[in-house]
Structure 1
Amino acid sequence: MGLIAPWWSAITAAALVAFFLPGNNFNAILSGFMGVGLIWMVLAWKIDVETKSIMSNKMIELFPVDDVNMLIIITAIIGGLAGALGAFSGNSFRQIFIRKKEKSFYN
C-alpha cells in the first residue's frame, strides 16, 4: 500500500489487522512495529537504490546523521512506532466491543 497510497495507509492497515485478529495489546504493538517498520525500511532502501543515494545524501545534510544506512534505520524506527500505535489503537478499539465473561463458581 505504501507505493500507491498515502503514508498513513500503513497505520490504517495495522489498525484494521489488529482489530480483526484477536490478541493482547503486547502482540498487537509488536506486530504493528515489526510489520510497518520492515515495510518502511524496505521502501526507504528501494528509494535509496533507485535514486543512487541522491535523495539520501541531501537528507544527511539536513539531519545530524553520518551514514545512509543509519538514516534508513531511523526511518524504519519511526515507521515502526507509527505502526505500533496504529495496531494498539485497533486492538483497543476491538476490546471495547468484547464482553467480559463473568466469573462463575464452576470455572
Structure 2
Amino acid sequence: MLLFLLILIAAAVAQVFLPWWCIVPVAFLLALWVGRTGGKAFLAGFFGVGLGWLVLAIWLNGQNNSVLAHRVAELLPLSGSIALLLLVTMVVGGVVGGLAALSGCWLRQAVWRPTLAPEPVTGTQ
C-alpha cells in the first residue's frame, strides 16, 4: 500500500514538470527503495500509474467537453467510445509503471540479498 501511494503521488507530481516517460524512473526507483516482492511491486506500479493517468485523462476530458477524446477514439479502432479510450489509457500507463516497478524490485532482490543468520550450534555432534 505504501509503494502504491508513493508511486501515485510521485508520478503525478513528476508528470507536471517532466515528460510522460518520467513515470519509469519514478516507479523503478521507488520499487528499488521500498519494493519487497515482484508481484506486489508490479501491482503497485500498475495501479499507481494507471489510476493517476485515468484521473488525469478524465479531468482533461472534462476540460474540453469530450471533443478531443471522441476524435482520438474515432481514429483508433474504438468505435468512438470515450470509455474504451480511457480504459486503454489506464492500461498502457499501468503496464509501463508496473514493469518499471517490477524491474526495480527485481534489481533490489538481485543486489541486496538478505543475510541469513547463522544456524545455532548444538552441543551434540
> What SS class does the counterpart of residue 15 from structure 2 fall into?
coil
Return the offset for 1:103.
7.3
Given the alignment of the two structures, is residue 59 of structure 1 paired with residue 39 of structure 2, yes or no? no
Report which stretch shifted further, 48-57 or 95-104. 95-104
Question: Which amino acid in 1 is paired with 2:92?
Answer: I
2:112 is aligned with what amino acid? I
- Deviation string 1:40-95 (CA, Å, 9 cap, x unpaired) is 11111111111211211110121111311111011001100000000011111212
Residues 69-84 of structure 1 aligned to structure 2 (within 5 Å): 69-84=83-98
Sequence identity percentage: 32
1:11 corresponds to which letter in structure 2? V
Separation (CA, whole Å) in 2 of partners of 1:64 and 1:22: 37
Corresponding residue for residue 18 of structure 1: 31
1:99 matched to 2:113? The reply is yes
Q: Which of 10, 13, 22 is the equivalent residue of 1:9?
A: 22
Distance in 1 between residues matched to 2:119 and 2:33, nearest whole Å: 31
RMSD of the alignment, in Å? 1.6
Residue 59 of structure 2 corresponds to residue 46 of structure 1:
yes
- TM-score, normalising length: structure 2: 0.77
* Structure 1 gaps, min length 5: none
After TM superposition, give the deviation of residue 101 of structure 1 in Å: 3.5
Structure 2 unpaired stretches of 5+ = 1-13, 121-125
Give yes or no for contact 2:35–2:104 (8 Å, CA) kept in 1: no
Distance 1:21 1:56 in 2: 36
> Take 2:35 and 2:24, find their aligned partners in 1: how far apart are those partners?
18
- Amino acid aligned to 2:91: I
**Number of corresponding residues:** 106
Q: Distance in 2 between the 1:20 and 1:33 partners? A: 17
TM-score by length of 1: 0.88
Query: Once the 2 structures are TM-superposed, how far is the Cα of residue 11 of structure 1 from its aligned partner?
Result: 1.9
